[in-house]
Amino acid sequence: MFFKKYRDKEEGVIRSFDMGSPGVKVAAAVIFIICVVMVIIAIFPSVWVFLASFKDIKEFRRNPTIFPSTFDIAKFIKTWNDLDFFQYYINSMISVTGSVICAIFFNGLMAYGLGILKPKGHKIVFAMVLWSLLIPATTSLVALFVNINRIGLNGSFVPLWLAMGANAFYVVLFKQFFEQLPKSLIEAATLDGCGNLQTFTRVVLPLSRPIMMVVAIFALNAAWSDFLLPFLLLANTPKETVMVRLFAFRTSNATDVEVLRAIAFSILPPIILFAVFQKQIMQNVVSAGIKG
Amino acid sequence: MRGKKSPWNQAVLKRNISGWLILLPGLILFSFFVWEPLLESVRLSLYTARGVQLQEFVGLQNYIDVFKHPDFAPAVINTFKYTFWSLVIGFLMPIGMAALITETVHLKGTFRLGVYFPNIMPGLAMVLMWGYFFTPGKTGVLNILLNLVGISPQVWLTNPNMTIPLIIVILTWKSAGATALIYMASMGNISPQLYEAAAIDGARLWSRFRHITIPGIMGTIKMLLILQIIAVFQILYEPLVLTNGGPNNASISIMQVVYRYAFQNFNYPMAAAVSVMICAVLVLLTVLYFRVTRETD
């Protein structure tokens, strides 16, 4: 039963004809068990956050156990209200929504210019975009922060939104997709008298739903998780996002279990996103991973 | 095209102009968020400033002052320690994980999903969470788990010799799965006939792995090695949140020096000077690396 399925094995070192040997069978079983352990190690910490959040502070400090004694959802609701998490969720949503729109529109537009219109000199621009993938991003953070301050955009969501509109990785994703679109459709739109911008919004984008989804998912997760720039621009303003608030707990008088519940609130949206869009995410992780 | 008369040229010109108009918003954003800050870092590092206003040109004085700062030497040494440990702990792990998952036929999709899962978690939340795992005393999560197998509680991050390796463990926990999936894709591209031919020649499992799989993913290994070094050089969240660089500067990273200069002392020129040095080292390293690996091919 367990070993039967190895007959159809298509890749890797162990081939179907090896399964006759008992040693290989043991190896295959051991590998399977190790993989199960790996997944447990990968998932356990996040599960623990939710388990431990059900403890109250006395139980958390005194009882060296993994499981809480009771599962009482009211504790979560109380912390949610005490820490005013609704406000931070709203702020994060504003930041995320603008970021996703900018990520799709501006990077898509850039890719449309580079991949379809190709004006003279587009290769230089694309080379510069690719170069920015290799240059360490955090090293220009200080100068970027100074620039944003100079034009008076600190304390605003606008720089966070627009920053997502300059993402080399998303440009590359869009460009690869656009280059496979049927040229005739775009030419037809031009013949109908559509300007370039109209062609983009009315023809190219509607044809590009799959890749828009992918960029939207990645941008959503990136914007939700982003910490450093939001912290520098929004800390101590009424616009603090969930991550900025989370960092402040480090030095606040919130109890350990309250901080744990805050962590639980902050990881819940990515978990839901992952659960819903796992197919789209898993299809694109390879290209995403090389960038990150 | 050049020989044709003006109507053609005008049409071409018009097409080029409208094409550039489409590129314009992206060009502005890339300039503001990516390209200009690099140049601005260099300019900033050559001046003194009050707040964000430049004061006077001081040449390389900021760079000289950075070297004299008591945090600088430990940060540089630590950055090499981080890199060393990330190669020891973090580099082989994803290759091993990819090799193992490739050899499974049951639940393969679940394994892929599972190991990728930590990567979608917000970095800051995960670092805070690991703080609870490494809590010294009997209620720290890892100590609870150790207690189950009868090992006495450890002090974890407060032991200066353990701080950097443990931070690398956290980093590896978060990123190894995503890296493993890249290796898996690369391993999936190796032709099964190669393995079958080797098997006919009598090659055992390990020697098939050693002589077919490893050469097959060598290109990916080379690429990911340099990407990992670049990433670890810029480590910031983990030491910032978990140890704040301590105990006694044992885990301070070079990016944390930038952070302290810029956002605790508000000395942007000094922060920029350190940034420029990090960037220069990484660009140099990358260029050298590609030159060396190309020669050995």
Mean pLDDT of A70-77: 83
Site of tokens 């098997």: B199
For chain B, say whether A47 makes contact (Cβ under 8 Å).
no
Q: How far is A63 from chain B (nearest CA, A)?
A: 7
The two structure tokens encoding residue A60: 């958390």
User: Do B47 and B56 form a contact (C-beta atoms < 8 A)?
Assistant: yes
What's the whole-model pTM score? 0.88
Contact A106 B26 (CB under 8 A): yes
Residue positions counted in chain A: 292
Question: Which residue reads 């094409």 in tokens?
Answer: B19
Q: Enumerate domains of chain B plus CATH numbers.
A: 6-59 (no CATH), 72-251 (1.10.3720.10)
Residues of A in contact with B198 (CB under 8 A): none
Which pLDDT band holds residue A289 (cuts at 50, 70, 90)?
low
Looking at residue B161, what is its pLDDT?
Answer: 83
User: Could you tell me which chain B residue has the CA closest to the CA of A287?
Assistant: B182
- Tell me which residue in B115, B185, B262 faces A42 most closely, judged by beta carbons: B115
In CATH, the number for domain A78-291 is 1.10.3720.10
Q: Calculate mean pLDDT across residues A120-149.
A: 87
B8 vs B97: CA distance, rounded Å: 59
- Residues 55..114 of B with a Cβ closer than 8 Å to A: which? 97, 99-107, 109-114
Tokens of B141: 């999560």
- Whether the per-residue pLDDT at A288 is higher than 70: the answer is no
Give the CA distances from residue A210 to residues A217, A273, A284, B145, B233, in Å, rounded to whole numbers and listed in that order: 11, 16, 11, 44, 35
Shortest Cα distance, chain B CAs vs residue A98, angstroms:
15
pLDDT the model gives residue B8: 66
First to last CA, chain B: 42
By Cβ distance, the residue of A106, A119, A288 closest to B29 is A106
CB of B178 closer than 8 Å to CB of A292: yes
Burial B45-79 (b: 16+ CB within 10 A, else e): bbbebeeeebeeeeeebbbeebeeeebbebbbebb
- Per residue in B31-62, pLDDT (tens digit) is 999 999 989 999 999 998 888 888 889 888 99
- B173 and A42 in contact by Cβ < 8 A? yes
ipTM of this complex: 0.88
CB contacts < 8 A, A to B, total 303
Reported confidence tier of residue B257, pLDDT bands at 50, 70, 90: very high
* Euclidean distance between CA atoms A290 and A133, whole angstroms: 10
Q: B169 pLDDT exceeds 50?
A: yes
Query: What are the chain B neighbours of A146 within 8 Å (beta carbons)?
Result: 40, 44, 52, 268
User: Helices in B189-267 by DSSP H: which ranges?
Assistant: 192-200, 205-208, 214-216, 218-233, 237-242, 254-263
Rounded to whole angstroms, how far apart are CA atoms A193 and A215? 29
For residues A10 and B192, give the distance between their C-alpha atoms in angstroms, rounded to a whole number: 7
